[in-house]
Structure 1
Amino acid sequence: MARLLARGLGLSSASVRMLRQCAELCELNVRALRKESRLARRTASLCFELSNQVAYEAWRDVEDPGSHALSRDALRLARSCHPLLFSY
């Protein structure tokens, strides 16, 4: 998010909002997993979906050379959520 803000994108821009939502959802997912909540599969599913969206959007951002690293990290996050979808 810091790179996007440094490039002049505002807090209300779609890219910054998506990254913030992804971070918040990941935090929620971690809490659900720690509590062994029945909702953990749902939060993992949402985290998987949103991190894939972040990866796609970051890959498309050719103006920022660091965006491909973000895309790679978001895909790694999506892959880590995937096994959780079938574990509960």
Structure 2
Amino acid sequence: MKSGYTFVLAAAVAALCGTAFAIEGGTCDVYTQKCTAYVTEPVGRDRTGRTQYAVVPKYYSCSSSARCTRDGNHCDINAGTNSAVCR
């Protein structure tokens, strides 16, 4: 029950802000050198006109100076440059 409440609360905050949440980080993949983060985004409206949200994956390339060294390592995302600092 608590996770459902958190999701509804997250969607409400996103609606008030008019944008997806800031991305704090994700996990990296050694083979692809990509960082995967999950973000909440608006995906449409229901019959009553309320905005519906979904958690979707976003993929960011690891920067050439900060490569992923092990699957599942944390990576910090710079959404402005569409890249990640992997570890």
- TM-score (norm. length: structure 1): 0.25
More strand by share: 2
More helix by share: 1
Structure number with greater Rg is 2
